[in-house]
């Protein structure tokens, strides 16, 4: 897992951008993690903006981003002692900015931990569970899309990870992807 994550982070591939339905990516993530969440007693929710227009995205890259964020959110909930635990994946648009957001009411992070989350090889997980590259890879992909990541968290309360992608800064679709070849 470490070698795969490291290579994924290190290689500077140009995103394979095509017009994509952001909600389609989000629905795939909900489907992917539904069983894991249920087995852990965590309610996996989604709030998808049904009016969201297609966007120029690297579908695989955004899938990787949301996989990392939802996986981390589920892990944070598993570390929480709360009886009712939730992870919510949201999509919406605000003033031309496409937003993906993952919220959890898991264990949360203190200030020091929050400052380190985008540091290479930093992980709060056991050595066999995390490489410390997931959030770094996620931030890199978001930046390749002209976007940014925001993090809010409070110890014992949970976390919110938000991806903001200004539509005017999104990469242009690759010609062969746009033509469906």
* pLDDT tens digits for range 16-34: 899 999 999 999 999 999 9
Residue 5: per-residue pLDDT: 45
* pLDDT tens digits for range 49-67: 999 999 999 999 999 999 9
- Domain range summary for the chain, segments of one domain joined by +: 2-178
* pLDDT tens digits for range 131-155: 557 788 899 999 999 999 999 999 9
- Look at residue 124 and tell me whether its pLDDT is greater than 60: no
Q: Whole-prediction pTM value? A: 0.84
In terms of C-beta density within 10 A (0-12 exposed, 13-18 middle, 19 or more buried), how is residue 96 classed? exposed
Residue 132: per-residue pLDDT: 57
Residue 155: per-residue pLDDT: 93
* pLDDT tens digits for range 35-49: 999 999 999 999 999
- Look at residue 158 and tell me whether its pLDDT is greater than 50: yes
Architecture per CATH, 2-178: 2-Layer Sandwich (3.30)
25-44 burial, b at 16+ Cβ within 10 Å, e below that, comes to bbeebbeebeeebeeeebeb
User: Percent of the chain at pLDDT above 70?
Assistant: 79
| C-beta of residue 156 within 8 angstroms of C-beta of residue 108 | yes
Beta strands, E only, 30-174: 42-48, 55-58, 85-94, 97-104, 148-154, 158-166
Task: Return the H-helix or E-strand segment holding 4.
Answer: helix 2-10
Residue 112: per-residue pLDDT: 85
């Amino acid at each position: 897992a470490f070698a795969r994550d490291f290579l994924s982070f290190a290689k500077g591939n140009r995103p394979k951008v095509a017009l994509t339905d952001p909600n389609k990516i989000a629905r795939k993530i909900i489907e992917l993690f539904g069983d894991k969440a249920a087995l852990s007693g965590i309610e996996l929710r989604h709030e998808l903006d049904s009016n969201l227009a297609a966007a120029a995205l690297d579908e695989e890259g955004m899938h990787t981003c949301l996989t990392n964020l939802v996986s981390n959110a589920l892990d944070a909930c598993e570390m929480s002692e709360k009886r009712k635990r939730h992870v919510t994946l949201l999509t919406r648009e605000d003033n031309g900015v496409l937003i993906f957001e993952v919220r959890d009411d898991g264990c949360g992070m203190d200030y020091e931990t929050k400052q380190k989350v985008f540091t290479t090889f930093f992980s709060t997980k056991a050595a066999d569970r995390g490489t410390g590259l997931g959030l770094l890879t996620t931030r890199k992909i978001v930046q390749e899309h002209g976007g940014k990541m925001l993090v809010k968290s409070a110890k014992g309360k949970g976390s919110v990870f938000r991806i903001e992608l200004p539509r005017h800064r999104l990469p242009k679709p690759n010609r062969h992807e746009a033509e469906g070849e």
